[in-house]
Amino acid sequence: MKIVHVGLTAYFTEGMSYQDNLLTEQNIKDRHEVIYITDCQQYLNGKAVNVEPEDTVLTNGVRLIRIPLHKYVNDYVSKKIKRADELELLLNKHKPNMIFYHGIGGYELETVAKYKRNHPDVKVCADCHADFNNSGKNFISKMIIHRGYNRVLIKKCLPNIDHIFAISYEAKIFLEKMYDIPKERVEMLPLGGIIFEETIREKKRKRRRDELGLSNEDILIVHSGKMDRLKRTKTILDAFQKIKTKKIYLVIIGEFSEDMWPVVEPIIKKDPRIRFLGWKNSEELLEYLCAADLYIQPGGQSATMQNAACCGSALALYPHKSHKKLMGETVFYIDTVESIQRLLEEISANPKVLEKKRRASFELAKKELDYKELAKRIYV
């Protein structure tokens, strides 16, 4: 089967561990021909950069085609409208059996719906990553972009979409309330990760723990991402300073925003238990997640959480509704400096508590978050 993924404004970057990368790679492993059509932006060291249009085959076999967005008033408006003049030509040229439209909404959803009307045997899937935590937070975003522009487009295209997926419980609510999508039309397709064979996972774990100089008895906590104030990295550091044990270590991977680095730098530099490693590529990040005993995320939601669970790390998460719906009681929930401090003291005194959660979240990940299983849902 030929599958075309359309991810406009997705910042598709080879070597990352986002849904766009891992789902398309799984499609290849399942012996499908895969094309990913995106715009001309990607990440470089954690920052979005402009790149030239291209048509290339990636090392994993995915064909990547970059096309420019139609220019309107400015980049912000162009990205919200999501019009790409070459998409219709490319669909007619490549004649896909399935189209997966990432991030429902935007001008080109109608192009995909039109292709479906002209080719009724083609399967069309669309997913939603937006929720009320990250979208619709001001009048223009809520009433003009989402409730107005996107809702009208989606309602028009709805009869030509076979599957509408929400990546989280909160994205499901967003689809139903913001776009008026009937509840029975919304299916769940959470972000996922890669489940390594145990011998491979152990090798990755040992390699990174040896590099960090950690023993089997030491407890490694990993925190990662684009760290702005909403990431709440400072909350972790404040809690970490309150514990005295020398057997818990914190590794921070990613990049700090300009306003956050002066705040956290003095704390990081004065505590030898804390190590800031900067930006790492997907393969490196997954190895550190395999090495971790606990992945901690007290701020916004991130796909790294699912990757950490698939790598066999226990999880400490902010109690977002989506986290509770997906992970249940298999993880620790933290929301304040005090709750993080209590958790660190508890796992230091009784590491068996950590192992119990780790096993529970890993079993759930194997059933619900493995892209080998998630990909099957779009083939049905």
pLDDT tens profile 2-46: 999 999 999 999 988 899 999 999 999 999 999 999 999 998 877
Grade residue 303 by pLDDT with cuts at 50, 70 and 90: confident
Residues 237, 287: Cα–Cα separation, whole Å: 23
Q: Where are the alpha helices (DSSP H) in the chain?
A: 19-29, 75-81, 87-94, 108-118, 139, 151-157, 169-178, 198-212, 233-241, 261-270, 282-291, 304-310, 321-327, 337-349, 351-368, 371-379
Q: What is the mean pLDDT of residues 319-337?
A: 96
Q: For residue 363, is pLDDT > 80?
A: yes
Grade residue 87 by pLDDT with cuts at 50, 70 and 90: very high
The dihedral built from the CA positions of residue 368, 373, 379 and 380, taken in this order, carries a sign that is negative
What pLDDT is attached to residue 80? Answer: 93
Q: For residue 208, is pLDDT > 80?
A: yes
DSSP annotation of 217 reads T
Residues 293, 288: Cα–Cα separation, whole Å: 10
Grade residue 149 by pLDDT with cuts at 50, 70 and 90: very high
Instruction: Report the Cα–Cα distance between both ends of the chain, in Å, rounded.
Output: 13
Residue 45 backbone phi and psi in degrees, to 5:
55, 40
Residues 266, 320: Cα–Cα separation, whole Å: 30
Q: What is the mean pLDDT of the chain?
A: 95
pLDDT tens-place string over residues 265-287: 999 999 999 999 999 988 999 99
What pLDDT is attached to residue 45? Answer: 78
Token readout for 95 is 């004649």
What pLDDT is attached to residue 206? Answer: 96
Of 141-145, 160-164, 258-262, 300-304, where does mean pLDDT reach its minimum? 300-304
Token readout for 101 is 């439209």
Q: Is 164 helix (H, G, I), strand (E, B) or coil?
A: strand
> Which domains are delineated in the chain?
2-189 (3.40.50.2000), 198-368 (3.40.50.2000)
What pLDDT is attached to residue 228? Answer: 92
Q: For residue 302, is pLDDT > 90?
A: no
What pLDDT is attached to residue 17? Answer: 87
What pLDDT is attached to residue 301? Answer: 84
Residues 34, 119: Cα–Cα separation, whole Å: 19
Residues 222, 249: Cα–Cα separation, whole Å: 9
What pLDDT is attached to residue 44? Answer: 87
Number of C-beta neighbours around residue 95 at 10 A: 11
DSSP annotation of 252 reads E
pLDDT tens-place string over residues 209-254: 999 999 999 999 999 998 999 999 999 999 999 998 989 999 999 9
What pLDDT is attached to residue 234? Answer: 96
* % of the chain with per-residue pLDDT over 90: 92
Q: What is the mean pLDDT of residues 174-200?
A: 96
What pLDDT is attached to residue 179? Answer: 97
Number of H helices, E strands in the chain: 16, 16
